Amino acid sequence: MAITAQLVKDLRERTGAGMMECKKALVETNGDMDAAVEFMRKRGLAKADKKADRVAAEGAVVAAIAEDGRSGALVEINSETDFVANGDDFQAFAAKVVGRILADAPADLEALMSLPLESGGPDLETAQKELIARIGENIQVRRFERYATDTGQVFKYLHGSRIGVLLELEGGDEALGRDLCMHIAASQPVCVAVDDVPAERREKEKEILVAQARESGKPDEIIEKMVEGRLRKWLAEITLLGQPFVKDPDQTVEALLEAHGARVVQFTRLEVGEGIEKREENFAEEVAATIQGS
C-alpha cells in the first residue's frame, strides 16, 4: 500500500511522534493506521524502559485542593531537564496525576501508578512510559501526599513549580492558612512540635552538641547545661511551632496560632530533586569525547 503524506499526517496527529517515525511505522504495517499506532506504542514503551535508569532530578511540584477545601493533594514529578518540565506535555500529565490523587486517594505510589490516568485510558504507569517515549527523557512520579479532614481545612502553596506545601489546619481562616504555607516553604520546619521530632534524630544532634561542648574543657555539669540550652534552641529552629513567624519575627508560629485559636494538624513540604544525587557533568569533556569518537 502506498504511504501517502496524508496518512503520515494523520498518524502524527494521533501519536505526536515525528514524521520519519510515523512513515516507518506505516511502512512496517502496510499502511494500517491502527496497527501503526500499536507498533509505535510498543516501540515507545521499550525505549522508555531503557531510559528508566537515567537521573531525573528536575521537574515540578503540583498541588490541587478540592472545591470544599476539605481535601488536597501534592505530588513531585521528576524529569531530566527544566526545559521538559516546563513543556505542555509534562504539565498536562502532572495536572492529571495530581487530579487522580485527589479523586482516588491511592494508598501508596504503587497503587497510584495502577490507576487510569484518565477515564478509558491506560494506567498511569503506561501513560508515564508513553510520555517518556514521546519526550525522550526519563519522567518519574516520585512521591505524593494527600490530606482529608472533616473538622478543618486543607491549604496549598506553590513557590513557582519547585517547592510545594500542603497544610491541614483547624481553626483560623484562609489568610492564616496561606501565611503558614508560605512560612513552611521558606523556613523548612521538620515537623509541627518538639514531641514530633524523631528520637533518633534528637539523640544524634545531642551527641554532636556534647562533642562540641567538650572541646571547651569545662566540667561535665556545665557541659550538660550548655547542651540542654543548645538542644532547646535547635528544637525550636526545626519545629514549626518554635520558629519565629516569617512575617513577624517577634512572635513564634505557636503564638500566632494561639492568637487565632487555630491548630496545625500536619503539613508536607516537597522540593524538586530533594535528596536525589545529581550526576556531575563536564560538558567540555563530553564534547571532546564526542569529537574523538567521530
State pTM to two decimals: 0.77
Rounded mean pLDDT of the chain?
A: 87
List the grid coordinates of 127. 501513560
**Whose CA is closest to 76, among 285, 273, 230?**
273
Residue 155 to residue 177: CA distance in whole angstroms: 6
pLDDT digits (tens, 9 = 90+) for 188-207: 999 999 999 989 998 998 88
Report the pLDDT value the prediction gives residue 52, as an integer from 0 to 100: 61
Confidence label for 3 from pLDDT (cuts 50, 70 and 90): confident
pLDDT digits (tens, 9 = 90+) for 125-176: 888 988 888 888 889 999 999 999 999 999 999 999 999 999 999 999 999 9
List the grid coordinates of 65. 485542593
**Which pairs count as long-range contacts for 224-230, CB under 8 Å and 24+ apart, including other chains?**
none
Summarize the confidence of residues 223-248 as an average pLDDT. 92
Is a pLDDT exceeding 50 seen at residue 294?
no
CA angle (261, 199, 201) in 5-degree steps: 100
List the grid coordinates of 20. 520519519
Residue 294 to residue 286: CA distance in whole angstroms: 12
